[in-house]
Structures are given as structure tokens and as C-alpha cells.
Amino acid sequence: MLGVPETSSGSVLLDRLRAEKAQGIKGGIYYRLQIDLTYSSNRIEGSRLSEEQTRLIFETRTLDASGGPVRVDDVVETSNHFRAVDAVIDHAGEPLDQEALKRLHGLLKAATADAGKEWFAVGAYKRVPNEAGGQTTTAPEDVDDEIATILIGYEPERPHTLEEIVDMHVRFERIHPCQDGNGRVGRLVMLRECLASDVVPFVITDDMKAFYYRGLREWDSHPGFLLETCRAAQDRFMQYLDYFRIPYAGGAYRVQRPLDVQRRPHDRG
């Protein structure tokens, strides 16, 4: 360990993330997680920032705009997402509740253009009905009860399997409780729960987007579609754990091997 006490719950990875975050260590797993998750999760939702621009914002709080105009909200939400990942790391292992969900949304959408809209609720549930991928979602007046039902069934006080974490994510996305940012909040919650339950986390990258959305749509009839996408993403993340020599559930790290995260996400062989 790097000088911080081990957590009473969670994983070696969570301890390492907290240590690297506290000590400002660059080039480690905390650095890699922040850049990969922030770039990929925002990219899926339409951000135009490149991975290099994302890295610069994280490392130096500067931006190279030589490639053309940059949307202000892309920059703001990238910076906000870094803070949200920090909150996930800080609070992983605490029981998941509605305030935690709202807090993540508040971090993500603070100081954005949406925050200036009278009808847009930052750090709160939606006020106006919305859709998700052309599908209807829970009415605003029913969101509190629907989220409460999910959390009761999820039993947030105990560790969870990958399947349970993904199932909760699907239910959250179908409710679409916030006005915007639900996908990113939902993926942050999956990270938090993976860290708390010693499940290898994963990053849904842009090249996995179609498989991810298909898995969300067809969860009830074919849960394997989404689970295999998440497991393929876990395979990628295990390469980082191996490289940084971080043990994980299912076995200790393997001997360092070259990082190869470019193979197709749905090809696990």
C-alpha cells in the first residue's frame, strides 16, 4: 500500500485509488481510470473532446483547441466528471441511497448551460418527462418511489455480483430519473458498486456503444448481451490491473504484459 489504511470493505483496487488520489500520484491506476472513464462516458453522450484533450484537462487544467472550436459544456462536464469520479472513490462502500445519486448528478451538471435553465433540476430528479433512446421513462412524479423500490430490492448494505450491479443499472436507466446525464450517473454508480463489492470495474468505450445500448434494450429477454459487453470491458480493465500489479477477485495480477486494449470489445477469446 501507499501509506493509507486499507478500507474495511471493498478491494485492493479501491485502497490503491484512494492512496494515489490522496498523494497526487501521476501515471498510476487512478490517473488511468479518471481519463478513460471520463473520456469514454462523455464521448458516448456526444462530447467532442478527444482523449488527448481530456488528458490535458485532467493533468494541467488547460485545453488544446487547435483542432477547432470546443463547446464550453464539453469542457465543464469533463472537469465535473473528474470530481464525480473522486466522489465515487471517496464514498464507495457506503450504502447507496437517493442522496448519493442526486449528489453525483449535481457534481456532473454544475455550472453547465443546463444549470441555468429554470426547468432543469441539477442534483435533483427531473421535473419534465423525458425519453431514453426513443423509449418512454418513468413520469417525474413517480421517480422517487421507483428509485426507492430499486434500492430496497438491491439491498445496498451488502456486496453484490456483476449481474446484480448491471441489473440495477438497467432499472436505473429505464427510470431515467434526472433530466439529463442519466447514462453518466448510472455508469458512475456501477463503478462505485464494483469498487465496493470487489468486482473488477469496467469502462464502456465508444466502440462498445452499440453493444451496450442493445444490451440495455434486450436485458429482459437476453441479459447475456449486456453482461458479455461488460465482461469484455472487464477484460480490458484487467490488463491495467495486471500492468499496475493490483490483485483482483479471481486471482492475483499476472506478470506484466504489454497493454493491448484495442481488441474488439465483444471478442473475448
Work out the angle at residue 81's Cα, subtended by the Cα atoms of residues 69 and 92, and round it to the nearest 5 degrees. 170
Amino acid residing at 120: F
Q: Is 176 a catalytic residue?
A: yes
Beta strand ranges found along 41-165 (DSSP E): 131-132, 135-136
Catalytic residue, candidates 105, 169, 176, 266: 176
Residue 258 region by backbone torsions, left for phi larger than 0, else alpha for psi between -120 and 50, else beta: beta
What are the C-alpha distances in Å from 230 to residues 132, 134, 159, 252?
A: 20, 23, 18, 20
36 is in an annotated binding site: no
- Residue 181 is labelled as binding a ligand: yes
185 known ligand binder: yes
Q: 3-state DSSP helix/strand/coil percent for the chain, to nearest 5?
A: 55, 0, 40
Q: Is 134 annotated as a binding residue?
A: no
DSSP label of 163: H
The reply to whether 253 sits in an annotated binding site is no
- Contacts of residue 239, defined as CB under 8 A and 6 or more positions apart, other chains included, come to 257, 259, 260, 261
Residue 268 assigned to a binding site: no
Determine whether the annotation assigns residue 28 to a binding site.
no
CA distance 110 to 81: 10
Known binder of ligand: residue 183? yes
Cα radius of gyration (the chain): 18
Query: Is 263 marked within a binding site?
Result: no
Tell me 95's DSSP state: P
Residue 213 is labelled as binding a ligand:
yes
Location of C-alpha cell 436505473: 172
Q: Which residues are annotated as a binding site?
A: 180-187, 212-213
Q: Which residues are annotated as a binding site for ATP?
A: 180-187, 212-213
Name the residues annotated as catalytic: 176
